[in-house]
A and B are shown apart, each in its own frame.
Chain A
Amino acid sequence: MLRIILFLTTIIILLFTACETPVDIDIPHNAITTIAFASQSYNDSLQVYIAHTKHIFDTNRYKGCDSTAEAIIFYNGEQFPLKYNGKRFVSEGLTFNSGDSVLLQITGINSKHTYAKTVIPQGTIAHSIEITPSALLIEDVYFSRVQLCFNDPGNEINYYEFSLNVTQIKDDSASSFGYHDFRSFDPIMVNEDIMQYEPITMLFSDAMFNGSKVSIPMYYFLNFFTESLQKVIVVSELRNVTREHYLYHKSLYKFMYNQGGIWQGMTMPVSVNGNIENGAGLFSLYTSTFDTVFYDFR
């Protein structure tokens, strides 16, 4: 459908000679808002990126973390100030457990407080993958098939994020590909309504298979039949993520897709979800498991 729309729009543009001109519309300066971002495994040392919003006409792009902010973690009834390490605010010696509740407080610009709370998902969920190299050929591009299998624990709704890291070794040198253009025609994924946005990780909930064993076929873009390929190592990661993480990344994929190409300005605005009170961004910790598949072509 999107291709059709693209095609039609192109026709119309060709026919009626679209014109583009800069225009002046007065956009007022809204109050500056604190941005916080931390999305990582609960096992890793906590790193929080803190920044603030800029006016839409501001030409200064990303300038790194706002070192003047103050960040404190409230955990198990104690306070743990985060330290700025030159790149991000980090915790020292702070460890969490799955199921724990963690509160982040940031004192940012104009001494305003910003809060975020996350509950680390319960337990880790083991999974396995099966790879079928170059299983699908679409428009001269090979897609390999990955079959994800795991047991969903049931009870409450769980949210997942699945990704692949593929390392190819050829000519005795290795190259890694962390994120891939995924496709899936499985009802579970199709019903997530994100396939059209060309996601680089697969986000889904267990709403359609709660409490049961599930097997989801997916396709990812990487050609296994490259000449002189010696070895391929595929590492899959299945994250059990928070609802906030799930909604944030789904909306982010939609947002990124809508920003590009001729769709600019013609689509409905997509607001990126978040869980930062008085601010924007995401503070979410997840649990994850890995599976590895080796292919040796020598």
Chain B
Amino acid sequence: MISDKKNRFTVTYKPVLLVFIMILLIQNDVSGQTINGFISDSETGERLLYATVYDTTKSRGTSSNSYGYFSITPALQQFKPIVLVVTYVGYINDTLIFSNLKKDTLVNIRLKAGVELKEVEIKAVSNSGSISSSGRMHLNVQIIKSLPAIGGENDLIKVYQLTPGVQKGHEGTSGLHVRGGSADQNLIMLDDVPLYNINHLGGFVSAFNTDAIKSSILLKSGFPAKYGGRLSSVLDVTMADGNLSKTEGNLSLGLLSAKLSLNGPIKKNKSSYLVSFRRFYFDLIAKPLVQRVNPASTIGYNFYDLNIKLNRIFDNKNKIHFSFYSGDDKTLAGFNEKKDNGSDYYSQSNQWGNTMAALRWNHLFNSRIFSNTTLHFSRYRVKNDFISESTNDNINSTTRNTLLSAIGEYSLKSEMEYYINPETSIFAGTQLTYRYFQPNNFNYEVTGANNSLKSDYIHNMLIHAFEGIIYAGGKYTRPAGHSLELGGRINTFTINNRFYIIPEPRLKASFHHNNNLTSFLSFDVMSQNMHITGNNSIGMPVEYLLPATDQLPPSIMKQISAGIEYVSPLRIIYSGELYYKYFNRLAMLHDGASLWEERENWESLFAKNGTGCAYGAEFMATKNHGNLTGWLSYTLARSNRKFQDINNGKLFPDQFDIRHTINLALMVKIGENKDFSCAWVFNSGYRITLPVSKYYVPVTAGDYTNMNEIYIYSARNEFKTNPYHRLDISFNFHKQKKRYHRTFSLGVINLYDQRNPNAYYFSTMNVPGPNNTHYERVVLMQTSFFPFMPNVGWNWKF
């Protein structure tokens, strides 16, 4: 199925897409007038994504797209008005009545936040506006802010880790392992722009500042053709636009960080801004403490996030968004010591982070055709500087090392949506991307004593790659509610005169059995043009992003999934989904291989052409309404890998092949000014490779006095860690003051102090034996983070 000149993966996908478009055009019913426009918050003017517009006359509907735009052509019936009902989670339904509609009508709908605004709700979304989720999860900011948070810092990723089919990786990290995929197989986008590393503080906090986010959606299957580039999931996060009517602010203080956000109109109802800044405290506390202990020493760590969004509405047909994000972590350690005969200066700093900027233009050609054009830049880089200067008896010596690892891209994307009739819509788009990779550039500079010797070594590797994407698709909805979404995406990738072309067909069918029961089936092919190496699981900035090459071709994933969803009379949504995924052409570092030193032939460090499969079942019960809301989910999963050069070519479980996962998230409203939330997670252990036996050999040839203990390891990932479970709770106390609204949060992470596995190692302990003796025993030690940990946070909204 894959076309690739050298490897002769010749495939011929039939031009399914063209046939589909023809079918759609045949069915094109362009009679009737169209009602279109944007759905937004009545108070702030924020566009509401995925809101439902329902035509009661013919019992059919549509939903707003990711820019809040909708278009519907209602059924015309003589002498009867058209009644549209607009709904959105947390907002009061709006009913619009149109009588004697004779031409296309533009209407901007402003929904008013409901009295139940503070009641948090979760809603699975689909383009049809039905509750059918089909591998998608949509979380709004209210949910994220309601659940308990480490150090008082609410985190989007941590909440997604509580949803079915998503594993968190190691304890506390921001890793997403979706349906057996690895942490590098997720396309994480902020305002349509990919971010390459979302970890702050070694993964304990993600790059998403909740004060700057409007909404987010995680897709695990049934991917629309507009999404691609990673194998396992898409996390699409949208920044808030800023209030079009009045200026607002938000100040938060937590144990880890402080946040300040401001947003408001630049010109009322025409343009708005949002600026949000978050900073980590640690260096402000640690620096004076360290210098008090040792005045010659410096130590520090901080991170920051800066989100800026500007919006300008030119007229009913044109709107421009400018988004900017910059986030960096920085560590600094050093000392400067004067001695009698000289001085020592040492400084080590490390910086890593993302910068992205995007300019998007929404344009309405007419009431049925919506377009978006995006120009963006995104970059992730790790920079390490080491300087050591020593002076001893007037002899100087300097060592200076710098390391830079970066990936960046410039991209232009244009897409169009055509709402042909209420049953049918089609879309198409194209994207051109230039991407550069600097996997690990080194510069060593060593100056010897008295400047007599110099040794320089500069290693620069810059790899250029070009990506061209074309995608198209459409959706056809039967009056009975059944729908079919077909799409296709052609991924073309050029690197070092090597050209890859990978077709990615997508299909999703939804069946509306009755008002309470829906089912769905989807098939996806996804490809990934890059490989990310390093120990992703520990969340440190040690990943290197490397392109697919002729030796390491792009990876492919095929997935089939099916699910069912039932809404009970008590309005509890029960859903279940089965999936099977097959991975091909995976790359993985060989045992013990490392890219921490530069290599010209870095591709040889990889085991290539690996395969894998993942399958499982996900069940979820969600309650959206009332004072008690939340969800309970269970996931049964299995994930395996196979590489010719790893584990003797035998199949082995993936590191995060976690069989059982249970997640419980509850949010309870207690009166007007208090709410309580808790999150409990249980999962069976993740997989590890442990030594099973040992032997002793000389470290150096012939030296039998210095014997070293060598381990013989089990098969790859043969053992399971102990199960993981944890209960976090949080209370929020709200108080409305004259000029601001204050929220005080008090919570506990790991309420019952469970010691969960993070890492294992062997150690020797003296343990008591009989008759007051002691004997030596080899034990397996488990390292755990997050013991019982209280946290507090304050938030002022003004």
Q: Does B301 contact A (CB under 8 A)?
A: yes
Q: How far is the CA of A126 from the CA of B589 in the complex (A)?
A: 37
- Count chain A residues whose beta carbon lies closer than 8 angstroms to a beta carbon of B: 86
Mask of B328-347 contacts with A, CB within 8 angstroms, 1/0: 00010100000000001010
Which residues of chain B come closer than 8 Å to A178, judged between CB atoms?
700, 703
Q: Does B786 contact A (CB under 8 A)?
A: yes
Are A268's CB and B591's CB within 8 A?
yes
Q: Does B115 contact A (CB under 8 A)?
A: no
New A-B pairs, 20, CB < 8 Å, besides A40-B702, A271-B712 = A2-B596, A9-B202, A21-B782, A21-B784, A22-B763, A25-B721, A58-B694, A59-B777, A134-B395, A135-B449, A136-B397, A140-B344, A140-B392, A178-B700, A187-B457, A191-B598, A195-B597, A196-B594, A258-B592, A271-B592
In order of increasing CB-CB distance, the 6 nearest A-B pairs are A137-B397, A265-B759, A264-B761, A270-B592, A265-B761, A39-B701
Which residues of chain A come closer than 8 Å to B761, judged between CB atoms?
264-265
Which residues of chain B come closer than 8 Å to A3, judged between CB atoms?
333, 348, 386
Q: How far is the CA of A266 from the CA of B711 in the complex (A)?
A: 16
Contact residue among B448, B695, B762 (Cβ-Cβ distance under 8 Å from A132)? B448
A-B contact pairs, 16 of them (CB 8 A): A1-B403, A5-B540, A18-B784, A20-B781, A28-B692, A35-B697, A39-B701, A52-B695, A53-B712, A55-B694, A56-B694, A135-B449, A136-B397, A137-B390, A191-B599, A266-B535
Which of B444, B598, B692, B777 is most buried by chain A, counting CB atoms within 10 A of its CB? B692
Q: Does A296 contact B (CB under 8 A)?
A: no
Are B760's CB and A265's CB within 8 A?
yes
Q: How far is the CA of A41 from the CA of B596 in the complex (A)?
A: 33
Which residues of chain A come closer than 8 Å to B568, judged between CB atoms?
none
Which residues of chain B come closer than 8 Å to A37, judged between CB atoms?
697-698
Q: Does B755 contact A (CB under 8 A)?
A: yes
A181-212 contacts to B (CB < 8 Å):
185-187, 190-191, 193, 195-196, 200-201
Are A20's CB and B596's CB within 8 A?
no
Which residues of chain B come closer than 8 Å to A5, judged between CB atoms?
540, 542
Q: Does B779 contact A (CB under 8 A)?
A: yes
Which residues of chain A come closer than 8 Å to B293, judged between CB atoms?
none
Q: How far is the CA of A217 from the CA of B446 in the complex (A)?
A: 12
Beyond A19-B787, A51-B696, A132-B453, whether A8 also contacts B301 by CB under 8 A is: yes
Interface residues on B, range: 35 or more
Contact residue among A28, A139, A185 (Cβ-Cβ distance under 8 Å from B346)? A139
Are A7's CB and B699's CB within 8 A?
no
Beyond A54-B693, A255-B710, whether A18 also contacts B783 by CB under 8 A is: yes
Q: How far is the CA of A33 from the CA of B711 in the complex (A)?
A: 12
Q: How far is the CA of A196 from the CA of B442 in the complex (A)?
A: 14
Are B591's CB and A196's CB within 8 A?
no
Q: How far is the CA of A25 from the CA of B388 in the complex (A)?
A: 45
B683-715 contacts to A (CB < 8 Å):
689-704, 707-714
B183 to chain A, nearest CB (A): 15
Beyond A22-B782, A140-B392, A268-B591, whether A49 also contacts B693 by CB under 8 A is: no
Which residues of chain B come closer than 8 Å to A54, judged between CB atoms?
693-695
Contact residue among B396, B453, B693, B702 (Cβ-Cβ distance under 8 Å from A53)? B693
Q: How far is the CA of A52 from the CA of B695 in the complex (A)?
A: 7
Which residues of chain A come closer than 8 Å to B692, judged between CB atoms?
27-28, 30, 55-56
Are B722's CB and A12's CB within 8 A?
no
Q: How far is the CA of A182 from the CA of B62 in the complex (A)?
A: 69
B663 to chain A, nearest CB (A): 22
Which residues of chain A come closer than 8 Å to B331, judged between CB atoms?
4, 7-8, 11
Are A252's CB and B780's CB within 8 A?
no
Are B348's CB and A49's CB within 8 A?
no
A239-296 contacts to B (CB < 8 Å):
251-252, 254-256, 258, 264-272, 280-282
Are B693's CB and A30's CB within 8 A?
yes
Q: How far is the CA of A2 from the CA of B331 in the complex (A)?
A: 13
Are A137's CB and B542's CB within 8 A?
no
Are A271's CB and B713's CB within 8 A?
yes
